Structure 1
């Protein structure tokens, strides 16, 4: 049985390469590119699979790029449920400047989805989540979808008894009113949602609690990047330190955190330990190229380093 279904409404083929220096005007000779299946939910499903979980990736797919995306997801060992759409799946590009170590990311808007295509995606979710426990919806919305799409999704899965884990931003996040089990914003996304800057821990904690007390989400896990994370519920608030590792690529680390967190909750870990598993998965992803998930043994090692009393072998079935 698939316990975790992921939905990626704006997937992409992530192309990554490196060049000696990124400069204007001149041609920049690049290394051979690496191609990864991309988009928030797809990245989550890949890490869930690395952790030994049963995931199903639902996503719209169009054109020759969509065919390639489907193959890349299958090659990653993730069962797929693509939904055919008319316009081609987008492609994204990241270029690392070898000299400075800086990474430049170029992200395109994606295909415009029609109302019938949106309804087919929701119908696919309705079919795949039945009998499951969690739906992870992650990433941006493509052109053509209403800003309250994620609220419509929350209403759908709530009626099926499935818990929604949401990683969204911008207007899509601001239009969520209720029905989320776990919300995982960054500080920037949370600030945009509440409408004012969050310069310190007190302001960040208050904003996260505001989303809990207003009924938007039962749990808010705030990603603080190199400063760790914050988990807030009605009954608790806890800060978590980051794990400092050399960064090879930051793409997909936030999705790896969502995956580790969801796997932890699905396997009955306490919220604090599930957050630590998310931090370990994100940290392991930072040292891999492109959007490749971290290795399971590395995730277990990092988890042990921040959860000395936990047995990492219990994470995997």
Structure 2
């Protein structure tokens, strides 16, 4: 049967499905709770099916809503793609997008990416937001971000993840005459003090297992919200941290840091693109992601070559 609803009906249904709440869907779509409820009721009447079970707190999607959601996502992505293609033919078209990036990736990769992107897309405005990986999916869902470059996420409804690159993690310490930079193959011979980036609980288990396998014990721990502050602490003291190897420049940082690769068992860092399931990235955003991935891969490959020479 032909669909006689509106695009707004579909958008509000998708929001309600992903948020599991009419109130949250209204906030996300700049509507009202009663407005969302009205559109959902209208859809249910048009389709002659029940899409949600109203609970005391929130709503639960019915099996038929699961099917309808998948098709609605295809529809919204198709509309987004068509709009993006048409926009390229508008005279004087100037794009803009906002991307969220975790602190571990802003230190060394963002600057060369922006320099390249500005040369090839001078009329496109890019806004970079640095935030924790645990917060980025909600920022995408709320529309605060168009997409994010982060690490593995928890599989939130309405967020699609695409792997861009896998890079090794490493234990970073201050470079000293006894342990010069940029690469060391000898594990610490005494208990270490380790500074963790905030909200990286998901990675700690694998890191601690690797440290234990190398007979590295931890004496003291602390958490720091700022990646730059954490590296400053490591560069000035006997504190260490764990970070993706590509965050450290083997030439520029060789007098300041020494890194010990966390291999055997290997501890890797997955760089992921996160975006709303219902949306398609504009071509300019895709170009930015491609350049970012190239810069990240170049930085990672530089370390992998050193690991190979050192037989790590």
TM-score normalised according to structure 2 size: 0.20
Q: Which has the higher contact order (CA 8 A, sep 6+)?
A: 2
The structure with more helix, counted as a fraction of residues: 2
